[in-house]
Chains A and B, each alone.
Chain A
């Protein structure tokens, strides 16, 4: 796969940068030399003027890309000027970076589950929905098409400026997605419907679509329910139509937060973030095996821990006596 990408990149380079290609080679050679400076002090003396800034630029990956680009384009400029231009480009690259990162975040449709880990921290903020949210099942299409719109911009074509690394990268992925999408990592996103939670009278909560959610997570309902009860510090039962009745008053976002934690702990593969995992029990220990990458990790059994007595003490006494 990587070989293919490389080929494509090279062919793209050829198409765009034909006139500067010859010069490009010589510049590359020069670069090699400047790398070797530590071993060859004689050459260092000759090239110290160029080598020092070039090395400095190499430390920063963005800077390096910036410089390479500049060198390709500025054909007939003197060395010193080229290096200076490189530094300029490095600065440019960094300032561009912020905007691009933001764009990238919006685009990153393939990252299924990383959202959950963030979700742990931002539990409290309910209104703001992350586009990667597996619970946001429906408005997915709109987001996808808008992200495509962002992809298609190749702003450098008409203008005088150079392309940035991130722009090229998104271009490669766009082409890759068009020609063979399976290589671009575009797979079906894992979605879970939001839990449908309603109040049952004054003291109970009904979680109607447990069965559906468990099926989507490929987990036994018993395991999920055990986790819910342990986390919420309560108990409950399943009614005739497969709905879970929980003692206590809970809101949808609260149940959702607990489900998110369940998914992080018991569903996603820690190695590749894939949700295609199997939970098995081997003499008292639970193991999570990933269907996608094959890795196995052990997960802790669900323990409800200490349960404080919250009911009426009189009722408890009657129960104990009986």
Chain B
């Protein structure tokens, strides 16, 4: 009986709420910039795929861009890499050339 698909009470159109897309916002990698005091800025990289070793990436970023950075664990958004300064373009090029990530997967925010 249970193998008759029509009798199962699963509704594929049911509203599952925001549960999924708040996590990584439709699978995009978001690169943002924030202003700190003065001319200083901060770059955040959110939504990196779970199979990426963020610690290693942070190390590479720090060394390649000659900036400091840290890994922040957010309850909703997962681990986020923070870098000092505006590293958005450099992050994008590194992700696309070395990380094998499609440019369309990445959203750069900011001014």
Q: Give A296 to B111 CA distance when docked, in angstroms.
A: 28
Collect the chain A residues with CB atoms within 8 Å of residue B26's CB.
Answer: 300
**A305: Cβ under 8 A from any B Cβ:** yes
| Most A CB within 10 A of own CB, among B18, B32, B42 | B32
Q: Are B80 and A306 in contact (CB under 8 A)?
A: yes
The closest CB in chain B to the CB of A257 belongs to B111
Add 12 more A-B contacts to A203-B37, A233-B32, A306-B32 (CB < 8 A).
A230-B109, A231-B111, A251-B111, A254-B111, A258-B110, A258-B111, A303-B22, A306-B30, A306-B77, A306-B80, A308-B42, A310-B34
Q: Say whether chain A's binding surface is mostly helix, strand, loop, or mixed.
A: loop
The closest CB in chain A to the CB of B36 belongs to A310
| B20-48 Cβ-contact flags toward A at 8 Å (1 or 0) | 00100110001011111100001010100
| B54-77 Cβ-contact flags toward A at 8 Å (1 or 0) | 000000000000000000101001
Least CB distance from A261 to B in Å reads: 9
**B87: Cβ under 8 A from any A Cβ:** no
Q: Are B110 and A233 in contact (CB under 8 A)?
A: yes
Total number of B residues with any Cβ neighbor in A under 8 Å: 23
Least CB distance from B74 to A in Å reads: 6
Q: Are B35 and A255 in contact (CB under 8 A)?
A: no
- Residue from B35, B77, B80, B111 within 8 A of A310 (CB atoms): B35
Contact A233 B72, CB 8 Å, known A284-B18, A305-B77, A306-B80: no
**A27: Cβ under 8 A from any B Cβ:** no
Q: Give A307 to B109 CA distance when docked, in angstroms.
A: 12
**A232: Cβ under 8 A from any B Cβ:** yes
| Residues of B bordering A, CB below 8 Å | 15, 18, 22, 25-26, 30, 32-37, 42, 44, 46, 72, 74, 77, 80, 82, 109-111
Q: Give A250 to B34 CA distance when docked, in angstroms.
A: 11
Collect the chain A residues with CB atoms within 8 Å of residue B15's CB.
Answer: 283
Q: Give A308 to B71 CA distance when docked, in angstroms.
A: 11
Q: Are B109 and A233 in contact (CB under 8 A)?
A: yes
Collect the chain A residues with CB atoms within 8 Å of residue B42's CB.
Answer: 308, 310
Between A and B, 26 residue pairs with Cβ closer than 8 Å are A230-B109, A231-B111, A232-B111, A233-B32, A233-B110, A234-B34, A234-B35, A248-B35, A249-B35, A251-B111, A255-B111, A258-B110, A284-B18, A300-B25, A300-B26, A303-B25, A305-B25, A305-B32, A305-B46, A305-B109, A306-B32, A306-B46, A308-B44, A310-B34, A310-B35, A310-B37
Collect the chain B residues with CB atoms within 8 Å of residue A203's CB.
Answer: 37
Q: Are B25 and A307 in contact (CB under 8 A)?
A: no
For window 170-206 of A, CB contacts with B under 8 Å fall at: 203
Collect the chain A residues with CB atoms within 8 Å of residue B36's CB.
Answer: 310
Q: Give A234 to B32 CA distance when docked, in angstroms.
A: 11
